[in-house]
């Protein structure tokens, strides 16, 4: 992934510490999930033999490598999952940069990443990250990673990409993809990357609209009350996400959900479960409105091709409805999915984004990019 290597075959060893990719290591990777109104808590049940249907699956087969990237500007050791593009003409290629939502982590894009690289025949690489206070990203130099404000998250992504691809002139073109909170992060990162002379072929926002998100905020405390405080096992956490309809794809849940929980220091002491949430969503409350306020305007102002992917047709706010009628962005609805549409139906989303990339990365003379007037 070093910018000096045109074909980006590997991540630079001087920047990154290679992680053990064996099955046991990757099975322990952590990822989160958004709350649900469904109340079904395996954490309240005594320990039992794990159901084979909910046994964790390693994420090792979905990306070429999983590494830690030292990002001094953010004082973070950021976990990155990466499959580099495979080009035959010596060009740096294209990389899809994926940013998860609140409580999730990079492995939520695992199945989607494998589908996308396959459909593009390896021409489109995928880089998925764990944000601060999520997954395996950790603070360094004794610093704090508590601040989850939008400005800080945008700085983190921008700083990471400048470490991974230090020379914009030979860096791959970037297609930024963000789910929920991550949608706000990638949209607001676009102008910074363009200012630094990186090539940004497009930005895609997954199932988040400013108006809907802001309207839902008053209901979030009640939603969070429905979540169990912890789990007796990782398998219990996977089962809860499936039975509570958090994730509708059991294979994806078995890959991604283990990243949501972390062992508790004193399991079962005074009723404490063996596994707790990696990112307690209640603690992120002060940042919720800041994530989404102004999202629609920032999305429409992004100087690149724009794509909005939704799980339902009734989620556009007024600003986006006007923008859609004016042809400022492409919108796609993925049917029979929930909020985690990239996990629920990774195949359909991969087809959508690979087609979007092809249309906007390889524009034929005389054909306008999506969003161009």
Angle in degrees, 0-180, between the axes of helices 150-164 and 181-195, rounded to the nearest 10: 50
Which position among 36, 58, 180, 201 bears the catalytic label?
Answer: 180
pLDDT of residue 283: 93
Return d(Cα 78, Cα 71) in angstroms, integer.
7
Which position among 207, 236, 344, 345 bears the catalytic label?
Answer: 207
Q: How many CB atoms lie within 10 A of CB 27?
A: 17
Q: Which two tokens mark 246?
A: 């958090």
- 23: pLDDT confidence band, cut at 50, 70 and 90? very low
- 10: pLDDT confidence band, cut at 50, 70 and 90? very low
From the number of C-beta atoms within 10 Å of its C-beta (0-12, 13-18, 19+), residue 266 rates as: exposed
Q: Are 284 and 150 in contact (CB under 8 A)?
A: no
**145-168 per-position pLDDT tens digit:** 999 999 999 999 999 999 999 999
Average per-residue pLDDT for the chain: 86
Q: Is it the case that residue 312 has pLDDT exceeding 50?
A: yes
Domain boundaries, the chain: 16-361
- 216: pLDDT confidence band, cut at 50, 70 and 90? very high
pLDDT of residue 269: 60
Is 180 part of the annotated catalytic residue set?
yes
Q: Is it the case that residue 63 has pLDDT exceeding 80?
A: yes
**109-156 per-position pLDDT tens digit:** 999 999 999 999 999 999 999 999 999 999 998 899 999 999 999 999
pLDDT of residue 362: 62
Looking at the domain 16-361, which fold is it? Rossmann fold (3.40.50)
Question: Which of the residue ranges 32-46, 181-195, 244-258 would you say has the lowest mean pLDDT?
Answer: 32-46
Return d(Cα 261, Cα 277) in angstroms, integer.
5
User: Does the reported pTM lie above 0.75?
Assistant: yes
Q: Is it the case that residue 40 has pLDDT exceeding 50?
A: no
Which position among 259, 339, 342, 345 bears the catalytic label?
Answer: 339
Q: Is it the case that residue 370 has pLDDT exceeding 80?
A: no
Q: Is it the case that residue 25 has pLDDT exceeding 60?
A: no
Q: Is it the case that residue 34 has pLDDT exceeding 60?
A: no
Return d(Cα 8, Cα 87) in angstroms, integer.
9
Q: Is it the case that residue 367 has pLDDT exceeding 80?
A: no
Q: Is it the case that residue 180 has pLDDT exceeding 90?
A: yes
What is the length of the chain?
373
pLDDT of residue 266: 73
User: Which of residues 112 and 51 earns the better pLDDT score?
Assistant: 112
DSSP per position, 227-246: S-SEESSHHHHHHHHHHTTS
């Amino acid at each position: 992934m070093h910018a000096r290597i045109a074909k980006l075959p590997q991540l630079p060893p001087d920047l990154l510490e290679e992680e053990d990719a064996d099955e046991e290591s990757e099975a322990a990777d952590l990822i989160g999930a958004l709350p649900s109104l469904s109340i079904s808590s395996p954490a309240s049940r005594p320990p039992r033999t794990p159901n084979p249907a909910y046994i964790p699956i390693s994420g090792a087969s979905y990306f070429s490598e999983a590494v830690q990237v030292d990002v001094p500007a953010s004082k973070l050791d950021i976990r990155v999952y990466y499959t580099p593009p495979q080009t035959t003409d010596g060009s740096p290629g294209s990389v899809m940069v994926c940013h998860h939502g609140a409580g999730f982590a990079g492995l939520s894009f695992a199945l989607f990443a494998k589908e996308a690289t396959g459909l593009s025949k390896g021409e489109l690489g995928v880089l998925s990250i764990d944000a601060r206070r999520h997954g395996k990203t950790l603070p360094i130099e004794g610093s704090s990673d508590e601040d989850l404000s939008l400005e800080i998250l945008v700085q983190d992504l921008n700083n990471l990409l400048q470490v991974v691809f230090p020379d914009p002139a030979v860096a791959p073109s970037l297609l930024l993809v963000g789910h929920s909170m991550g949608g706000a992060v990638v949209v607001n990162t676009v102008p910074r990357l363009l200012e630094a002379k990186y090539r940004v072929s497009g930005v895609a926002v997954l199932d988040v609209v400013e108006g809907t998100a802001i309207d839902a905020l008053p209901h979030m405390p009640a939603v969070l009350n429905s979540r169990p405080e912890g789990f007796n096992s990782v398998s219990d956490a996977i089962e809860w996400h499936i039975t509570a309809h958090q994730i509708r794809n059991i294979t994806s849940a078995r890959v991604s959900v283990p990243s949501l929980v972390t062992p508790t220091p004193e399991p079962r002491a005074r009723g404490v479960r063996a596994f707790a949430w990696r990112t307690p969503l209640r603690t992120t409350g002060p940042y919720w409105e800041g994530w989404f306020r102004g999202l629609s305007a920032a999305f429409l102002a992004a100087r690149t091709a724009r794509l909005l992917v939704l799980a339902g047709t009734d989620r556009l706010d007024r600003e986006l409805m006007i923008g859609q009628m004016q042809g400022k962005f492409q919108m796609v609805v993925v049917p029979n999915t929930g909020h985690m549409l990239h996990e629920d139906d990774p195949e359909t989303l991969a087809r959508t984004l690979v087609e979007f990339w092809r249309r906007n990365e390889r524009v034929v003379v005389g054909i306008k990019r999506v969003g161009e007037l």
